[in-house]
Structures are given as structure tokens and as C-alpha cells.
Amino acid sequence: MVTLADVQAASARIDGRVLRTPTLPCQAISRATGSDVTLKLDNLQVTGAFKERGAANRLALLSADERARGVIAMSAGNHAQAVARHAHLLGVSATIVMPRFTPATKVTRTASWGAQVVLHGETLAEAASFAHDMAEKNQLVFVHPYDDAAVIAGQGTLALEMLADAPDLDTLVIPVGGGGLLAGCLVAAMALKPGIQVYGVEVEAYAPMAQRLAGRTVSVGGATIAEGIAVRDIGEMPFELVRRRITDVLVVPERAVEEAIGLLAEGAKTVAEGAGAAGVAALLTYPERFRGKRVGVAVTGGNIDARILSNVLLRDLLRDGRLLRLHLQIPDRPGVLADIAGKIGDSGGNIIEVSHQRLFAASSVQAAELEVMVEARDPTHAAAIVEALEKSYVVRRI
């Protein structure tokens, strides 16, 4: 269905339309996981995700009649932006159907490329059904995000570039949504380097590929920060390509995705959305699979709302012990707050926030309750701050 020749042809076809993104080693993630990690930074594409590859290839193959009719796509965001951008570059009208839960930043950026954005449905499946109906009614060309040979071939150019830039890699780790990227990368990687191991990665709430490969009934749903791979239905074409070639599909918990976003931000100095960080999450969740190996990880997208990124980083600081939330029972008398602030300051801590309750929360009118948020250098420093306070007060970490 899709061959190395198709991927190579797609690479030539999209040259100049899509960025050849950097393939760089990352010492911070290598140290954290015990493997030799190289990142393929497709979050640096113009629209912030790898989807440009498949969209550019598919739209370049449109006939004159199809260009005149216009295209339609359904997506939670990255495919939407990719189709909108490349339709704009070709002068083709584009309609994009997006689920109502799509992050505002992806809706805004899609519309900025001149596409007509229609918000419909609570899931990708509902948005897809509506988009197919619109395509039939208005004679539009439906550009599927993953169940399309030209799209799969375009996505496979990611692995083509990664192995050209880092030929010593013995393992690839690829996030899985509908399966188009994984399928394309498998076709390219296995043809270029038959002994290479290729892993797909899904999140616990949405793991249809892992379930289908295991012969189980697909059951998905729930909140996830990796909304870009929150897909119910794997494409049939990607599934056929994947099932014969895949090493394994790994399923990661939500917390690992959040930790991966933080590690990429602090360690690799790069911003990744939840789906884009899923590959690093797999290394954190299954270090024994990758220890000592030369691993290429696709960072597939960087379109994350600033508010969500901020919350993830703060939660990461709390987990690491670099941000402390402390609850103290204190006597209600002058000078206590100054004493607590002095102990924290003398220990090298930085007070970020204080909440002092005298009237309602305390168990006695002679007492008060204090909540204080403190910044520490690392978990050892955090423990030292708590120890200094415990010499005089009852302290509980929240």
C-alpha cells in the first residue's frame, strides 16, 4: 500500500514546503532515562507539528478539478492547521471541522490561515462524521488525517530525515493517534534499516492500537493532556502496515506525559504538547526497554496552551519537591509570621505565597493556621526547610 519509494517521492515533493527539522542529541533526557536519546524536533514546523508532512504531500497531489472544488478535513488541531496552511499556499479553499473541546490556540491558528472553521461534536468521531457529510453535500475533497496513502507517505518523511541525520539509531519511538505517522515511519525505517526496533506510544485513556494488536475490544475515553492522540478509531490502512512490522505499542500514564513535558522544557529547552511529549513519556515509563540503546524520539508537536503548560510545570515542581506547599498550626501571637519567614529565609527558601487564617480555620482562638508556598532548589533543600520549621512548629506537607 505504501512503500519506501512512496515516502522518498513524498520527500522530494514536499521539499521547500515543509521544514527539515533538527535531529539533535539530548544529554538531559539521556541521563534521565539511561539511554542515548536523539530528538526529532517536528514541534518546530511552521504550524508546530509533524502533520505538515502528510498534508503537504496529499494536497500537492490534488488534480485541477479537486483544487477548484476545495478540501475539507476534520482534526483536533494539528492536521487542521496543516491542511489550512498548505491549502492557503496552493490557493485552495479549505473547511476544517474541529471537535468542540479543541484548545483555543489551535482553533485560532487554523482560522488564521484563511480556513473556514466549524466546531462540531464532542469527539473526533462525531467531528469526522459531520465532515464526511459536508464533503458529500458540497462536493469537497476529504483529506483524512491518517487513513490515506499519500498522508502516510508524507508522515514517513520524518523517519527518513531522522535516519539520514542519525544513522546509528537502533530504536525509534513514535506517538500514535490514528496511526498514520507510525505507519509511515515504520515503512521508511524498516526498509532503510531492517533490524531497527520501532515502538508506538499511546496514553492510557486512548490506546486503540495497543488494544487492537492484542485482539481486545477497543475501549477509550476520558480526559487527557495528549488530546492530539486522543483517537477512538485507528485507520485501517495504518493498522495493516503497523501490525506486520511493529516491535510493540507502549501505553503510558497521564502523569508520565506531564513529566515528559516538563523534562523537555527544562532539559531539552523545547516546548511540547502532550501528544508531542508521549515518546519521552515512554522512555520515562519503560526505562528497561531502552537502557543502553540509541533511541530516536519524535517530538511531534508543540501546540500547547500557555495556561496548561504553566500548570504542568508547576505540578512538576511540586512533584519534584522544588515547590513546597506547607500547612502549619501556629500560636496566634505577634512575631510568629516573622519568625517563620526568617526560618525559611535562613534556610535559603523563597516564599511565593502565604494564606493566614485566624478566625474560622483554627481549632482554638489562641491558634491560627498558615499555608505557605515555598520555592526550593531540590528535594534535599526542601527537606532541610521543613526540618528547620519543625523544630518550632507542627508542619504538614500538602
* Domain CATH code at residue 116: 3.40.50.1100
Q: Are residues 221 and 332 in the same domain?
A: no
- Do both 338 and 390 map to the same domain? yes
Is 19 a domain residue? yes
Q: What is the pLDDT of residue 333?
A: 86
Task: Specify if 151 maps to a domain.
Answer: no
Choosing from 108, 142, 176, the residue where a domain stops is: 142
Residue for grid cell 508556598: 373
Write down the pLDDT at residue 367: 77
Give the per-residue pLDDT at 164.
98
Determine the average pLDDT of the residues in 115-142.
92
Mean pLDDT on 164-192? 97
Secondary structure of 21-82 in HEC code, one letter for each residue: CCEEECHHHHHHHCCEEEEEEHHHCCCCECHHHHHHHHHHCCCHHHHHHCEEEECCCHHHHH
| Residue 231 located in a structural domain | yes
pLDDT exceeds cutoff 60 at 129: yes
> What is the pairing mode between strands 394-397 and 323-331?
antiparallel
**Number of domains, the chain:** 3
Residue 108 pLDDT class (50, 70, 90 cuts): confident
- The number of beta carbons lying within 10 Å of the beta carbon of residue 32 is 18
Give the pLDDT mean for 43-51: 96
Query: What's the whole-number mean pLDDT along residues 40-59?
Result: 97
User: Bridge partners of 172?
Assistant: 198, 296
Instruction: Tell me whether residue 389 is in a domain.
Output: yes
Q: Which residues span the domain enclosing 261? A: 4-49+157-315
Show the DSSP H helices in the chain as ranges: 4-14, 27-33, 51-60, 64-69, 78-90, 104-112, 124-138, 149-155, 157-165, 180-192, 208-213, 236-243, 254-266, 278-285, 287-290, 306-320, 336-346, 379-390
Among 114, 134, 123, 125, CA closest to 72: 134
Residue that is last in its domain, among 299, 315, 331: 315
pLDDT band at 364 (very low <50, low <70, confident <90, very high): low
184-242 residue pLDDT tens: 999 999 999 999 999 999 999 999 999 999 999 999 999 999 988 998 889 999 999 99
Final residue of a structural domain among 295, 315, 335: 315
Q: What is the pTM of this model?
A: 0.89
Asked, for residue 149, whether it belongs to a domain, the answer is: no
282 grid coordinates = 515512554
pLDDT in tens, 136-162: 999 999 999 999 999 999 999 999 999
Say what the pLDDT of residue 200 is: 98
